[in-house]
Amino acid sequence: MALFKIPRLNTDYGFLQKAIPLIGLIGIVSHIPFYLLLKYGFGYQESLVLRILLPLGVLPFLFYPRQSPLGFGHKVYFETIIAIELPFAFTYFWFLNDGNIYWSASLAFAGMLYGLIAKPYFFPFLFPLSGAAASLLYLHFQPGSSHWIGECLKAQIVGYFSGFFANAIKTALENSHYKILEERERGLQTRMALHLSEQEADQARKVAEESLVHARELGAIIETLQSYTRPSLVAFIEKGMDPRTLLPTEKDFTVLNCDMREFTALTERMHPQEQIKLLNSYFSMMTDAVEEHGGEMDKFIGDAFMALFENPERAGMAAMDCRRALQKYNELMMKGNRDFQPIQNGMGIARGMVTHGNIGSVKKFDLTVIGNAANISARLEALTKKYNVDILVTEEIIESMGGYPHSRWIDQVKVRGSRQGLRIYELYGHQAEDVVKYKDSTKDLLDKALRTYFQRGFGEAERMFKELLAQSPPHRHLMNQPMDRIYLFYLRRCDAKRSDPNGYGKMLEQWDGFHEFAE
């Protein structure tokens, strides 16, 4: 423990303020008998006054006000006193004694002692300055002694280097000592910071346990909430914001509407629990495909759902992945149950500006969208049954998909609730490989037949549709039905318009090339 009581010499000069006055007083007392011995015993004729005045130089230490920390002026004062007491005094005594070996050794010793006491930033220049001042003072009183200057310079160099090495060693030891003090102080502070009473520790433990329970409860609530609403709304609530304060905004969304086919007939013999289990497994497949492509489920309506996408291309890809997942599910279920009736669905996709906001009553809101795109996607989903296709999309979706190769033009329509004329397309990239190849190989012929039809060449268009129908392979699951039933749809249209059984002739005069659907 004694190590940590070493004074900090570089900051307060406390050691010097105590030690040097004592040394000076000892020097005064000892110089008097020493002088008398030299004068009467050996015949030296040195000035007693000079010998006494030099030790008296330490007396200002006794009267100088002590304070900590010291300013720069205070430090200069003390360093000057030290320089006078050591290098200045011993250099002067060296001259008084004609540079004998005793005083040469004393000067080297004084340099070493000065190096141990002086600070590193004062020693290099105060030692030579004080030695030079002593030399000039002696030459002033003894002008004929200039021949001693060279010898004195040699002795001063020896003393300077002795002091330099002593100063370097002392500085290294002090720096090491300060680091030990700092580490010890840091350790004490750490132990004090960690030193909690039993009561404080118990209180901290209780707070931590309560916080953990609260976090778990909150996590369970958030997890439950995520199961009942959309992730973006949950994230909004987690940020501490109130979704009820959201104002309606106009946003560009791609809307996907999907409806299960013949759900009532499919589940009428099922137990309610089986119905819910079927729907939940079905919607889980659909949700996974939608979210994998960056979409978000907006709502479930019975056996139907609506999803929102910011990227129209990914909406098309998500729809086809939904159909692929459904096909795998049907195959798996049919292996375990031969009586299982495969699930079918239809999808419609449209893009446009919609109004996004809270819709509902004061007691219950639904953060959803309304607008033309939502209406069109729902109407397209309903039209998939008329065309006997799985997925119908607007022309804008096809363009956003870069002219997706496994797509084909189906019709030009105006859906209910919209006066906008639409070119609609079928996506079929999810279907069986032979079906995709067949539709790829015949879509140019279908395109040509459709153009003829919309140019009112119904007879020629009918012939072309019949040729395509003759080339169509049989349907995999439906007896006496072609694989591509779109031709049957247009043959019925051509026949109706050509034979004009219901007065189509008058309507054709005003027909703009777009079919209008009432449902």
Query: Given its phi and psi angles, is residue 399 left (phi above 0), alpha (psi -120 to 50 degrees) or beta?
Result: alpha
Tell me whether residue 362 is exposed, middle or buried, using C-beta atoms within 10 angstroms of its C-beta: 0 to 12, 13 to 18, 19 or more.
exposed
**Rounded Cα–Cα distance for residues 460 and 466 (Å):** 10
For residue 320 the two structure tokens come to 């086809």
- The mean-pLDDT minimum among 22-36, 291-305, 395-409 falls in 22-36
The pLDDT, as a whole number, for residue 68 is 56
Q: Which amino acid is at 397?
A: I
Q: Using pLDDT thresholds of 50, 70 and 90, give the confidence band for residue 495.
A: confident
User: Which residue bears the tokens 């449902």?
Assistant: 519
Highest mean pLDDT out of 20-34, 228-242, 433-447: 433-447
Residue 50 has pLDDT above 60, yes or no: no
**How do residues 342-394 score in pLDDT, each as one tens digit?**
899 999 999 999 999 888 887 778 888 999 999 999 999 999 999 999 999 99
- Say how many C-beta atoms besides its own lie within 10 A of residue 46's C-beta: 13
HEC letters along 149-189 = HHHHHHHHHHHHHHHHHHHHHHHHHHHHHHHHHHHHHHHHH
**Rounded Cα–Cα distance for residues 307 and 421 (Å):** 24
Of the candidates 161, 172, 80, 66, the one whose C-alpha atom is nearest the C-alpha of residue 118 is 80
Residue 26 has pLDDT above 90, yes or no: no
Quick one: angle between helices 198-228 and 231-238, nearest 10?
A: 150
- Nearest 5°: the CA angle 115, 109, 8 is 30
Question: Which positions ≥6 away from 106 have C-beta within 8 Å?
Answer: 90, 93, 94
Which is more confident, 508 or 151? 151
Query: Does residue 288 sit in helix, strand or coil?
Result: helix
**Rounded Cα–Cα distance for residues 337 and 269 (Å):** 15
- The mean-pLDDT minimum among 301-305, 407-411, 480-484 falls in 480-484
The string of DSSP letters for 34-73 reads HHHIIIIII-----HHHHHHHHHTTTHHHHSPP-SS--HH
What's the number of CA atoms in the CB half-sphere (13 Å) around residue 279? 18
Question: E strand or H helix at 330, and its extent?
Answer: helix 312-336
The pLDDT, as a whole number, for residue 212 is 61
Decide if 34 contacts 44 (C-beta within 8 A).
no
End-to-end CA distance of the chain: 96
**Rounded Cα–Cα distance for residues 480 and 492 (Å):** 17
**Rounded Cα–Cα distance for residues 463 and 487 (Å):** 11
- Say how many C-beta atoms besides its own lie within 10 A of residue 396's C-beta: 17
The string of DSSP letters for 205-241 reads HHHHHHHHHHHHHHHHHHHHHHHHS-HHHHHHHHTT-
Question: Which positions ≥6 away from 353 have C-beta within 8 Å?
Answer: 250, 251, 252, 371, 372, 373
**Rounded Cα–Cα distance for residues 328 and 267 (Å):** 20
Which is more confident, 171 or 518? 171
**Rounded Cα–Cα distance for residues 392 and 350 (Å):** 9
Q: Which amino acid is at 161?
A: F
User: Which residue bears the tokens 């590193």?
Assistant: 120
Q: Give the CA dihedral 455, 460, 466, 470, nearest 10 degrees.
A: -110
Of the candidates 259, 224, 229, the one whose C-alpha atom is nearest the C-alpha of residue 243 is 229
- Say how many C-beta atoms besides its own lie within 10 A of residue 180's C-beta: 13
The chain-wide mean pLDDT, for the chain, equals 77
Residue 38 has pLDDT above 70, yes or no: no
Which is more confident, 157 or 279? 279
How many helices (H) and strands (E) are present in the chain, helices listed first? 20, 9
Residue 94 has pLDDT above 60, yes or no: yes
For residue 364 the two structure tokens come to 């219950």
In sequence order, what E strands does 302-363 have? 304-309, 345-360
Q: Please state the pTM of the whole predicted model.
A: 0.58
Beta bridge partners of 300: 305
**How do residues 201-260 score in pLDDT, each as one tens digit?**
667 667 666 666 665 655 555 565 555 566 666 666 666 677 777 788 999 999 999 999
Decide if 14 contacts 68 (C-beta within 8 A).
yes
The pLDDT, as a whole number, for residue 341 is 83
Q: Beta 515-516 vs 407-414: how paired, if at all?
A: parallel
